[in-house]
Structure 1
Amino acid sequence: MSRSVRIAIDAMGGDNGASVTIQGAAVALERRPDLSFVITGNERIVGPLLKEHPKLAAVSTVRHSEIAVAMDAKPSQALRAGRYHSSMWMALEAVKKGDAEIAVSAGNTGALMAMARFCLKPMGEIERPAIAGIWPTMRGESIVLDVGATIGADARHLVDLAIMGAAMARVVYDIERPTVGLLNVGVEEIKGNEAVKEAGKILRDSNLPSLDYVGFIEGNDIGKGTVDVVVTEGFTGNIALKAAEGTAKQFAEYLRRAMSRTLSARIGYLFARGAFEALREKMDPRRSNGGVFLGLEGVVIKSHGGTDAVGFASAIELAYDMARFDLLANIRSMVMRKVEPPAVPARA
């Protein structure tokens, strides 16, 4: 495919604002030359930064906004104060109007979800949207959802999560029939709450051609990469995500201390430096930065607020893949329970 992919960027979102988002866009453009951007934010800040990146400036349109949503703003307050005029809202509006295919923001998660639901509206067959995250595993990567959009879930919502997660896996991993598991307290069918057990029965009986439901999985299966898509409700998913992030940092600190404790350990590190570099790259959260808002009439990518330019570029590249391989059309088709989802375009 040769068409350009146009991404809307909330330049003012995140802990560091435009200094990171603009540089991140420039990094992404170097890797994906067919990108173009609608950049929303304060022109007095964005303009000088764009001058440092002439190639990015040439493929970008800036839409001025004086309002940036604070990282600690409550969603209801942000919606009242920032609707229609904030850089966050304007990025979402660009998607709604068709001026961009996907919006990317590192801003306040709660505010972004509230604005996205209000601006883009939930997809007709989906009651509640979800946030899907890409999770590094021993097997490669898996998609986990929901990681914090909504708390609690009935069986219907869990089934919707399975379908949306499978659609994303088809796009991200180029898998025709992704494996899907429901996160539970055990793999036996008698275990778990009623919503999880009912969702499992629906998925087994439906035998959807667009996914391969393998049954219940446990928490340790997430890191193993037992399935391509892990389905759970937002409360559990967010705790699992934060626990994994904390464990990774804890392990990295233990390793750093061990490698610097004695002279022989430091010498050993020099011999094994290549292996440690590979491990550090694998565990680098910037490589899998970007939560995908699913279930809306438009796709939104939420970057981690404290990421750097490399991490923000990863979020943009994830948005690029979502647009190039038409995630929204796949979700619509699979949610409508069609016999066959639309074919994923062949990758170049």
Structure 2
Amino acid sequence: MTERFMIPRSVEWNDTHITILNQQKLPEETEYLELKEIEDVWDAISTLKVRGAPAIGMTAAYGLALAAQRYEASSMAEFKQQLHKDINYLASSRPTAVNLFWALNRLASSIGDAISVNEAKTMLVHEAIRIQVEDEDVCRRIGEHALSLFKDGDRILTICNAGSLATARYGTALAPFYLAKEKGVHLQVFASETRPVLQGARLTTWELMQAGVDVTLITDNMAAQTIYAKNISAVIVGADRIAANGDTANKIGTFGLALLAQSFGIPFYVAAPLSTIDLETKTGRDIPIEERNPEEVTHIAGKRIAPEGVEVYNPAFDVTPHELITAIITENGIIGENYEAELPALFEKSEQVG
């Protein structure tokens, strides 16, 4: 029997505005925000009110569609000029998550056959909605593939939040845990807190607890001891960008977990949709790494914990070399032999299915 449980949704389209679950306020407060202007959307993405590569892409797509409804363009040429200005504006909100650029470019391409401004406006909304609907199906398929790698009783470590809050539903790295719950398979999750913004502590534990998934919180520097003492079976993480050779950018701390997995001889899995794969970026060295406000490190809950004036290095992401990745799990299957050959083949598989 399929078990029913709550999976929170992070983004919803409401014709005149976008509703998002404010992830800055979790877990203390469940607050929904209405984004009515493109500036609201830019701020929500930049300040992590909405985060997670797929959710960022969905929100940006809706934001572009929302802004376009108010264009007073007299021709398609004028409409496209305004559209590309807003695409560039939204693209500047976060530089690392490739889904942002993928979603915006997909919307721009969707109006190629439009013969009027009104038709183009409608097409943009439909395409944005289609991105969200597709993402839910993609995440479930990722979860099915990932679950095939685990067995009842496994203990699995993850970092950051690659769950329903970061996607349309189910998530990527967290998807197998939701599906295991549905199917009566018991998996125990260990969630790393993910300093400095604490997405693991605030978000991953919160959403998994909503669904009744067995989750235990650890601090980031407990990872090695946890793998050793708790007999961790595997590490699974999400991704913000995967280069053509398989190098993967994800939340800061992921690279360290990959090194630990190698040291302990356990698999290290990356779960991500095809939209996170960037074949134009050849290696991880070509991925731009966002550096964020030093106060994320020097302060906790608004209280200073470090000396005034101390130098701070605060990269939001790191890059895990492909040789440390046991397998990449996508909606089109699992690969792990030769990423440079297998990653392009995944897109060919999509075209054949389509």
* TM-score of the pair, normalised by structure 1: 0.27
